[in-house]
Amino acid sequence: MSKPHLEEDVLVVNVVNPTAGLLAGDRVHYDVTVESGARVLLTAPSASRAHRIVEGDARVTQEFRVASGGWLESWPEMFIPQGGARYRQRTTVRVEEGGEALLIEMIAPGRTASGEVFAFTELDWETEIFLGTGKIARERYVLTPESPTLAAMRAPFPEAYYASCFVISPHLRTDAKCWQQIHDLHAEDAWVGCSALVKGGWAIRVVAAGSVALRRTVAAIRAEVYAALGKQAPGLRRN
């Protein structure tokens, strides 16, 4: 973990994997608690990678808790599943009433510069979000190169890049203009969808033709969310 620093009253924490990436048998666990009145940006300076795994898998579990009056933004760098990778990720987010969170994840199709596209063996991804005592979101998908979900993503973009965003806040109404502005980011090279969760939150999805289009769109979504909340977006300091 790099030396945390304050920027715009937000504690910016870069988490670094000291190895070349995730290998068979690797187990990584994140446990993050944001107390009332604290503001934290959890990010990473470079992409994370899962390498080829012949037997077993690599697993990451994440537990995020945000107290009432706390703010958590989690935006790691791009996740790159390499050829033959087997990867499992489980994320649980618990936000107290009055707490806020912005959660962003970006997934590449592989090492596209080397011609490796959707060559991983399996990605098993699960996210559960609780607001107060109630579950407001559950996302689960298992991707293989032959899966129908992947085929649907590749229909418009053969080398599809994907981003998943969740916004949890009591200060954004369903009719807030930022949702239309985010919807309007939909473009020829980046498709954007936005919908309200059952309570207190929103889900945003992006499928893009390439990494440049994905990064541009996700950065614009982040800017719209911060502006709507009246917050100053801290820099990521990724280099």
Q: What is the pLDDT along the chain (239 residues), one digit of tens a residue?
A: 677 888 878 999 988 876 778 999 999 999 999 999 999 999 988 889 999 999 999 999 999 999 999 999 999 999 999 999 999 999 999 999 999 999 999 999 999 988 899 999 999 999 999 999 999 999 998 999 999 988 998 999 999 999 999 999 999 988 889 999 999 999 999 999 999 999 999 999 999 999 999 999 999 999 999 999 999 898 876 55
188 in a domain, yes or no?
yes
236 in a domain, yes or no?
no
Q: Got the DSSP string for 182-230?
A: HHTT-BTTEEEEEEE-SSSEEEEEEEESSHHHHHHHHHHHHHHHHHHHT
| Total structural domains within the chain | 1
195 in a domain, yes or no?
yes
Q: Amino acid identity of 124? A: D
235 in a domain, yes or no?
no
237 in a domain, yes or no?
no
239 in a domain, yes or no?
no
15 in a domain, yes or no?
yes
Structural domain that includes position 52: 5-229
Put simply, whether the predicted model's pTM sits higher than 0.85 gets the answer: yes
* CA angle in degrees (0–180, nearest 5) for 181-183-188: 115
- For residue 206, give the nearest of 195, 196, 197, 218 by alpha carbon: 218
234 in a domain, yes or no?
no
